[in-house]
Amino acid sequence: MERLGSQAMTEKTNTPPRRLRFEIFRFNPEVPESTPYMQSFEIDETPYMSLFIALNEIRERQDPSLQFDFSCRSAICGSCGMMVNGRPALGCRTLTADLPDTIRLHPLPVFKLIGDLSVDTGTWFREMAEQTEAWIHAREAFDPDAQEERMDDDLAEQIYERDRCIECGCCIASCGVANINPDFVAPAGLNRIARFMMDPRDSRDATDWFEVVSNDNGVFGCLGMMACHDICPKELPLLDVYAYLRRKALAARFSG
Amino acid sequence: MTDDTLNVRAEEARSQLVYELISGASGLCLAVFMWGHMVLVGSILFGARGFDWLAGGLEDYYIAQPTVIFIIVLFLVHAVFASRKIPAQLRERKQMIRLARDLRESGSSRPVPGSDYVPFRPHVESMLWIWQVRTGMVILVLGSFHLVLLGLDVFTPMFGMHRGIESATTLARVSGGLWPLYAVLLLCVEFHAGVGLYRLAVKWGVGARLSRAALWKIEHVLFWIILGLGILTLVVLAGWLDPPLAFLLEAAP
């Protein structure tokens, strides 16, 4: 894969750095008299510049009031999701070299806006976790002296594959349904359901799950637009998750 | 939570599953029927004789009549159940369209001109869903018109010389000015059915055995073959081209 394609080209030909124009959504809901607007900033591109680097440069040198979230800078904390030219992406792993001269940044939709590019994904994920009861419903009381039950390697890997979700919220922002139906558990929620459904330690059976999954806020709310799968920064196989949930719902209904 | 609420939730979940199955299965049946339909109408490529022979045969053995009724019912059932997911508010539709368009455009960007390198995974399926709704609306209107005409052909002697489908009536209709209507219907149906089958396959996980890329390719090949056949048929029906295979039946008694 020719990653950093245009970056390599710039270095080879020794051309002067690109002048990048950032159009950034500005709004502070804390200030009652303020209204949303787009503000432009210009900076010179540096080699291997990510949006994280670019936004920090803007905040340090041009506007200290600019709000955005970052923490780990390595696509694992899930704080820096934002709309980059209309596509949800992580700011830390999106390189300016892959983007045109003008870069449009918006906060992720669906979530509560904190200010400018910063949104509150935590509340949304907590509500989703409560709605789907995203925790192990233990069969029996925990016995600290008992030996842990063995789990098949394949199954452990399947569960881990669902657990790789970093809760950045990009899939939710890209989902047409999540954008208009606040009760939809959305891609990350369906992924979470599948994770606990697979877990043999969870006591919920097919009938319990059936009521959660088989409705418009569950997997049948999904229209199959597939955007979540295509934009997921962790490249989670989300389409497999929905197919799994659909087939489980079908099996739960017709197996008694 | 009381037992009553649990029952209501379970009941609701069962209906939702049934709705989903009805909308998918009716779509699948209609899409498969459309391929068969293409073969039936395509008989005009063998000339009026081939077309009338096939139509007459299907009517004489009472295959055409129940099929017409079944398809009309399926058409309406699919319209009701597939449309239950279309957002009602214009504001919601606009939001979906804007999102779908942005996703498509950002997925087609190539930062290095002339290079194959794409930084973002291409994504057109959101926009294809919007187009499925649009083509669905067109099919509901034009398809109803077509089904009414065909129902009258099959069950009444209102058009043509006798009761039943006749090549002369069909040719006169298409060449007499209805061809743009049928051309739009053809394009919408093939698009709607092709994308619908692809989406259905991905939704229920046929992709576990066939990759999404493979399904995408199959959908494309089918779309172009059926559309090509459809256009050829329409051109013959409009009278711009003589039936290319008519010579095969000329020698027949």
Q: Is pLDDT larger for residue B107 or for residue A19?
A: A19
Domain boundary at A48, A73, A106, which?
A106
Q: What pLDDT, on a 0 to 100 scale, did the predictor assign at position B107?
A: 81
* Mean pLDDT score across all residues of chain A: 92
Residue A112 lies in a domain: no
Q: What is the pLDDT of residue A2?
A: 45
Instruction: Give a yes or no: residue B29 inside a domain.
Output: yes
pLDDT, average across residues B104-131: 86
- For chain B, the helix, strand and coil percentages under 3-state DSSP, each to the nearest 5: 80, 0, 20
Nearest residue of chain B to residue A95 (CA atoms)? B119
Pairwise CB contact (< 8 Å): A225 & B125: yes
Please report which confidence band the pLDDT of residue B108 belongs to, taking 50, 70 and 90 as the band edges. Answer: confident
- Residue A8 clears pLDDT 60, i.e. is over it: no
Contacts of B19 in chain A (CB under 8 A): 220
Residue B213's H or E segment, with its range, is: helix B212-237
Asked whether residue A167 carries a pLDDT value surpassing 60, the answer given is yes
- Where does the pLDDT of residue B211 fall: very low under 50, low under 70, confident under 90, or very high at 90 and above? confident
Q: Are A240 and B205 in contact (CB under 8 A)?
A: yes
**Does residue A4 have a pLDDT over 60?**
no
Residues linked to residue A82 through DSSP beta bridges, in sequence order: A89
**Is residue A77 domain-shared with residue A148, that is, in the same domain?**
no
The answer to whether residues A234 and A133 belong to one domain is yes
| Cβ-based neighbours of B18, under 8 Å, separated by 6 or more | none
> Residue A116: left (phi > 0), alpha (psi -120 to 50), or beta?
left
- pTM of the entire structure? 0.91
Instruction: Read off the CATH number of the domain in which A188 is found.
Output: 1.10.1060.10
Provide the mean pLDDT of chain B: 91
pLDDT at position A7 over 60? no
Mutation target to probe the B interface, by most B beta carbons within 10 A, among A1, A214, A241 is A214
User: Is residue B145 in some structural domain?
Assistant: yes
Taking the CA of residue A202 and the nearest CA in chain B, the distance in Å comes to 20
Q: Are both A134 and A82 inside the same structural domain? A: no
The percentage of chain B sitting over the pLDDT mark of 70, rounded to a whole number, equals 96
Which ranges of A104-175 would DSSP assign to H, the alpha helix? 121-132, 153-163, 170-174
Supply angle C-alpha B38, B39, B40, rounded to 5: 90
Question: Does A75 reside within a domain?
Answer: yes
Residue B40 domain boundaries = 21-108+118-247
pLDDT at A1: 41
Closest by Cβ to A223, choosing from B85, B95, B103: B85
Residue A126 has pLDDT above 70, yes or no: yes
Cβ–Cβ under 8 Å, residues A83 and A105: yes
Q: Closest approach of chain B CAs to the CA of A193, in angstroms?
A: 16
Q: Over range B40-64, report the average pLDDT.
A: 92
Residue B226: count of CB within 10 angstroms of its CB? 21
| ipTM for the whole complex | 0.89
Q: How far apart are alpha carbons B136 and B132 in whole angstroms?
A: 6
The β-bridge partners of A42 are A21
Q: Measured between CB atoms, which of B20, B100, B205 is closest to A243? A: B205
A138 and A173, same domain (yes or no): yes
How far is CA A86 from each of CA A77, A234, A249, B95, rounded to the nearest angstrom? 22, 19, 34, 12
Cα distance between residue B234 and residue B174, in whole Å: 8
The pLDDT tens digits for B229-241 are 999 999 999 999 9
Instruction: Determine the distance from the C-alpha atom of residue B1 to the mean position of all C-alpha atoms in its chain, rounded to a whole number.
Output: 45
Are B208 and A223 a contacting pair at CB < 8 A? Answer: no
For residue B95, which of A24, A113, A231, A109 has the smallest C-alpha distance?
A109
Domain count, chain B: 1
Residue B173: pLDDT over 60: yes
| Residue A141 confidence (pLDDT) above 80 | yes
In a domain, A111, yes or no: no
Whether A107 and A116 have beta carbons less than 8 Å apart is answered as yes
Q: Which of A123, A117, A114 is nearest to A84 (CA)?
A: A117
Q: Structure tokens of A84?
A: 């980059």
Rounded to a whole number of angstroms, the distance from the CA of A227 to the nearest CA of chain B is 6
Q: How far is CA B68 from CA A250, B10, B155, in A?
A: 31, 37, 10
Task: Choose the final residue of a domain: A106, A133, A164.
Answer: A106
Beta-carbon contacts of residue A139 (< 8 Å; ≥ 6 apart): A201, A203
pLDDT in tens, A223-242: 999 999 999 999 999 999 99
| CATH number of the domain encompassing residue B140 | 1.20.1300.10
Residue at which a domain ends, from A106, A138, A172: A106
The whole domain housing A64 covers: 5-106
Give the total residue count for chain A: 256
Tokens at A40, concatenated = 């432009």
